[in-house]
Amino acid sequence: MAFYELQASKIEAEVMKYHIDTQSWTSMQPRDGMSIAYRKSPHFNGHLYKFECVIDGPDDAIYDVMRPPLIREERLRWDNSVKDFQCIRNISDEMMIGIFITHSAGMGMISSREFLDLYYFKKHIPSDDAEFDRISWILAGNIEVAERPITSKYVRAHNHPTGYAVRRYKNNPNKSNLCLYINVDIGGMIPRSLIERFLPSQQVLYIESVKKEVFRRLGKAG
């Protein structure tokens, strides 16, 4: 348990560095009301991405959709961006180890990837934020476990310290701000230019799927 707590603490510390950084980002063309920016990743030779948007729904509803569940089918029921998901180990109410397997992409040029991560769930009440009065975090980072060794079936990709923040607006608790920090090395021999075209598009599709599922659970039209 102490080992996982230490790893979770390290992931959180790294993500908080991105979160407070307002100077190092380069903006990209917004998509569907979503702002996208990138900067050099401090952990591998690639980019760290930031995606941000507003969702018309309470933060708890959005967080419940995004948090990886213990039951595989609960995620696969709505998330078309992944081929499979499994909770490998439920460590505590705040931590779990899970594996996601993606679909192939780019007309088969990018093979399916598997991501084996430690997830850390944390809710924070900021004392000095003028805009938000609650932040719910899903923090993740690559981990290795004996029961899920690397195989030749999938390319093992790596989530370097990554975080999803769902923030509740003080002036309107029925609207939320979603901020994603994506810090992924997908591995393999994929040209960097192809990755830079593919990865933002995949994240935009994922966020759209989150919105649809939130609206479905709330009984709202998308």
- One DSSP character per residue, 135-183 reads EEEEEEEE---TTS---SSSEEEEE-SEEEEEEEESS-TT-EEEEEEE-
Other C-beta atoms closer than 10 Å to the C-beta of 190 total: 16
Total of domains in the chain:
1
Q: What is the rounded distance in angstroms from the CA atom of residue 32 to the CA atom of residue 53?
A: 9
Q: What is the pLDDT of residues 108-148, one digit of tens each?
A: 667 889 999 999 999 999 888 889 999 999 999 999 999 89
**Average pLDDT along the chain, 222 residues, taken 10 residues at a time:** 93 96 92 92 94 96 97 94 94 97 76 94 89 96 93 91 97 95 87 77 90 92 62
CA-CA distance, 210 to 63, in Å (whole number)? 10
For strand 155-159 and strand 113-124, is the pairing parallel, antiparallel, or unpaired? parallel
- Secondary structure (3-state) at 92: coil
Identify the DSSP state of 220: -
CA distance 80 to 77: 8
Q: Which CATH number fits the domain that encloses residue 146?
A: 3.30.530.20
Residue 112: give the domain boundaries: 2-218
